[in-house]
Amino acid sequence: MCLDILSAYLYCKKNQLFVIFLRGLIWLWVFFWPLVYPSHSESNKEFSSLPLDEILKRAIYQNELMTKAMLALQYQEKVEIQKLDSSGNPLKTNSLQFLVKPGEGFLLSADPQTGTLAMRKLSTQDIQKAQAANMVSDYLSLKNLVPRFAISYEGMSRWHGLPSYIIRFDPKPNQPYQSKIEKLINAIQGKMWISKEDYSVLCVEGRLPKPVEMAWFIAVVDKLEIHYHASAEKGLFGHLPSFFDLEYRLKYILGQVHARQIISMKNFELPQPMGKNE
């Protein structure tokens, strides 16, 4: 059921993307792009003349490079779950903090009804089993997300002072899905901000424009809001993920579950000097 899917969050170092939108934040399919980008003028005319598909190509290429680079990094991660009342105020909060190292995985189990969170470290064998059982999915990978949406260009803006392209995404009518989580993803609309400088995804804001039925009339998700932003400070591999916030409300015949999950990441670094063999 949707509650089971939404209340279980699997972190796997080998499958990290935007936590994504998440992960994450955010969101498109992969195209080949040369390693060296041509230079561009700062004028608005130059910006507006760049085709949307070209912006997406470069954003995806940059995101793929960053995702692969992150597999070699270690960093601090904090996961927080909040049980909310009907107005969205926290009733109970539980959080976990841990150091993520290359090749490691953690199984995080969240119970939105009680606001509790538990973590179990995964071995390489555990991770492989989770992958084989499709417990680790790439629903939020860029290459899988873009075909689900109608994409449009909304112009230029600045995000924390950084020049960026604003890209809008809207649900496509009658988009097929194979699971309840895919049905939810298909219904999201929002915007993303892509760096003009290096095409990193800087920010994503998404929401449900209307309720989504999960089991006929028995269960309905009437609220889903996603907020993602990268670090405003550019690092060696671009603007790395910094914050992901997911709030949802599931209503059913006997009550409702209203919860918020917040993921933050910081202190990215190489665990050993670049190029040194283990």
Whether the CB-CB separation of 67 and 39 falls below 8 Å is answered with no
Average per-residue pLDDT for the chain: 75
Q: Give the integer Cα–Cα distance in Å for 228 and 241.
A: 8
Reported as a single tens digit per residue, the pLDDT across 165-220 is 999 999 999 888 888 888 999 999 999 999 999 999 999 999 999 999 987 778 89
DSSP assignment string, 135-193: -S--TT-HHHHGGGEEEEEEEEEEETTEEEEEEEEEEPTT---SSHHHHHHHT-EEEEE
pLDDT at residue 124, as a whole number: 59
CB neighbourhood size of 115 (10 A): 19
Predicted model pTM: 0.74
Which residue's structure tokens are 């109970």?
92
Whether the CB-CB separation of 205 and 226 falls below 8 Å is answered with yes
115: left (phi over 0), alpha (psi -120 to 50) or beta: left
Closest CA to 1 of 246, 259, 257, 263: 257
pLDDT at residue 131, as a whole number: 53
Structure tokens at 255: 């009550």
Closest CA to 171 of 195, 197, 146, 189: 189
Confidence of residue 41 (pLDDT cuts 50, 70, 90): very low
Q: Give the rounded distance of the alpha carbon of 175 from its chain centre.
A: 20
Structure tokens at 141: 């990978």
Q: Give the integer Cα–Cα distance in Å for 135 and 67.
A: 20
Closest CA to 75 of 106, 101, 105, 104: 101
Reported as a single tens digit per residue, the pLDDT across 62-105 is 888 887 888 888 999 999 999 999 888 999 898 889 888 886 66
pLDDT at residue 192, as a whole number: 94
Q: Give the integer Cα–Cα distance in Å for 247 and 229.
A: 15
